[in-house]
């Protein structure tokens, strides 16, 4: 029995099961809050199809004290319009193997991404003059006609946040 214990002790020490040791690595410092809050411009979209009721509004924490927006109009999950300012929905959709092409829609030169894996889904990246921290402006459309998507893009504008506006 003593022989087994003598063989087991070095093995435990080698695998890290020995006495606790203090690390010489510096302790992590707690994250600090951003000193300023910046809110991206709000999307305004009067051209959403009339049969799509407004269904959701979210404030998106983009990090470093910057907040973006998500607005959604939806009847069913299969027919909807989502407008985002500050975040890129293509990041979350990368598994769908989206293919992009440039074209003219709503009087704007845009990048339209589609996928064979989810027919009817179109993600439009709209060029904008947003500040660098808010640089993404996207319209995600599902089951919209080309005329409906054109109307959404043609009427899409951005309203500057009120002075001192903070996210909810």
Q: Which residue has the higher pLDDT, 68 or 13?
A: 68
Name the band, by pLDDT with cuts 50, 70 and 90, for residue 67.
very high
Mean pLDDT of 92-111: 88
In this predicted structure, what is the pLDDT of residue 15? 46
Q: What is the mean pLDDT of the chain?
A: 82
Q: What is the mean pLDDT of residues 8-32?
A: 54
Q: Percent of the chain beyond pLDDT 70?
A: 77
Higher-confidence residue of 127 and 162: namely 127
Average pLDDT of the segment spanning 68-72? 95
Q: What is the pLDDT of residue 12?
A: 43
For the question of whether the overall pTM of this predicted structure is more than 0.85, the answer is no
With a CB cutoff of 8 Å and minimum separation 6, the contacts of 61 are 67, 167
Determine which of 44-58, 87-101, 150-164 has the lowest per-residue pLDDT on average: 87-101
As a whole number of angstroms, the distance between CA 86 and CA 168 comes to 16
31: pLDDT strictly greater than 70 = no
Q: How far is CA 143 from the centre of its chain?
A: 21
Q: Using alpha carbons, list the distances in angstroms from residue 63 to 38, 41, 67.
A: 10, 16, 7
CA–CA gap between residue 144 and residue 23 (Å, rounded): 58
Q: Which two tokens stand for residue 12?
A: 């435990």
Distance, CA of 126 to CA of 111 (rounded, Å): 7
């Amino acid at each position: 029995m003593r022989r087994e214990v003598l063989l087991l002790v070095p093995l435990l020490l080698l695998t890290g099961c020995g006495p606790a040791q203090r690390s010489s690595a510096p302790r992590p410092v707690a994250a600090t809050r951003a000193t300023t809050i910046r809110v991206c411009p709000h999307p305004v979209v009067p051209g959403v199809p009339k049969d799509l009721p407004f269904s959701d509004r979210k404030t998106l924490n983009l990090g470093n004290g910057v907040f973006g927006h998500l607005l959604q109009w939806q009847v069913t999950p299969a027919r909807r319009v989502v407008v985002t300012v500050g975040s890129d929905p293509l990041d979350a959709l990368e598994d769908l193997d989206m293919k992009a092409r440039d074209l003219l829609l709503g009087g704007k030169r845009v990048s339209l991404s589609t996928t064979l894996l989810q027919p009817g889904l179109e993600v439009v990246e709209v060029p904008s003059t947003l500040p660098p921290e808010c640089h993404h402006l996207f319209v995600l459309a599902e089951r919209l006609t080309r005329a409906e998507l054109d109307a959404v893009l043609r009427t899409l504008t951005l309203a500057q946040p009120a002075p001192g506006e903070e996210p909810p």
